[in-house]
Amino acid sequence: MSEQTVLYDVPGPRTLRRQRIGTVVALVLIAGLLAVAIQRLASRGQFDAELWEPWLNPAADDFASVWELVGRGLLATMIAASLAIVLSLVVGVGLGVARMMSGRYGRIPVVGFIELFRGLPVIITIVYVWRASAELGIPIRLLPGENALWYLVIGLTLYNSVIVAEILRAGVASLPRGQGEAGRAIGLTEGQVMRSILLPQAFRTMLPALISQLVVVLKDTSLAAVIGFGYFELLRRGQQIYQILDNPIQTLFFVGTIFIVINYALSKLAVSVERRLSVSGSTSRTGADAAGETAG
């Protein structure tokens, strides 16, 4: 019997042949485009040693200062991302619980808040926080650190907290209904059921998705450079470097590589956590089944 998937039949020999031909053609086109791009860059001197030396040659005059600026920018990026992640988790859990435990009419403002900031592009949210703070005289300066840091952090928190709230709601909804019913049957209140039974299991279920969201937060810190309100995170430091050294392609190449390495590590962490949770979940279910058979 031929193997089949739920959504489509396994492709036959002709389809496989067409797919292989299409793959080869696509690879040839991509290779051709890369060759043209490399030739254009070479013809404009973008592979000249003096453009790469500040990044690669420790003996170059600017090498130490370049990597010092990169280190400061990376630290600023990690600070902003860490604050936004922690606040997003706190606010997101509060929003998610409020949405699930409020009555039909009580959840309307919560749902409205979630849908508003989930629908807005994150860059608009950051700009709104920036301008609203200035126009309304909100005392951001009372918070420790630069004002620009908090414009970025609050904007990222508003956007990502609603994503966390939806991830939490989906995690709770994925649990068997009997979990909550068992808690109510032994006299627990709705708050106790949520806090003691549902939330711990939901966190376990949604942990890989939360870790994946960290990648989004980290990447979105670079929007501070696009807006240009004065927070010198990694990309903004990169702009400083290439404005001085006049090597934007080389600088953005290394800045982009740093982001890729960090985000790849976070992605692998998410995959590892998901695999560990799947294995431990399977082990728990097997143990429970075995106990049930023994009792039977």
Residue 80 lies in a domain: yes
Q: What is the per-residue pLDDT across 213-233, written as a single tens digit (0 to 9) for each?
A: 888 898 999 998 888 778 899
pLDDT bracket for residue 292 (50, 70, 90): very low
Residue 214 lies in a domain: yes
End-to-end CA distance of the chain: 38
Amino acid, res. 52 = W
Q: Which residue has the tokens 């600088």?
A: 251
CATH number at 211 reads: 1.10.3720.10
Residue 216 lies in a domain: yes
pLDDT bracket for residue 295 (50, 70, 90): very low
* pLDDT recorded at residue 76: 93
Using CA atoms, how far apart are residues 202 and 20, in angstroms rounded to an integer? 43
**CB burial string 13-37: b at 16+ within 10 A, e below:** eeeeeeeeeeeeeeeeeeeeeeeee
* pLDDT recorded at residue 288: 44
Q: Structural domain tally of the chain?
A: 1
Residue 3 lies in a domain: no
* pLDDT recorded at residue 136: 83
Q: DSSP code of 9?
A: B
Query: Mean pLDDT across the stretch 249-253?
Result: 93
* pLDDT recorded at residue 101: 84
Tell whether the model's pLDDT for residue 46 goes beyond 60: yes
Residue 49 lies in a domain: no
Two tokens at 206? Answer: 């949604």
Query: Mean pLDDT across the stretch 183-205?
Result: 81
* pLDDT recorded at residue 291: 44
Residue 265 lies in a domain: yes
- Residue-number span of the structural domain to which 227 is assigned: 58-270
pLDDT bracket for residue 68 (50, 70, 90): very high
Mean of all residue pLDDT scores within the chain = 84
Residue 128 lies in a domain: yes
Residue 254 lies in a domain: yes
In the chain, what percentage of residues exceed pLDDT 90?
A: 37
* 31 vs 7, residue with greater confidence: 31
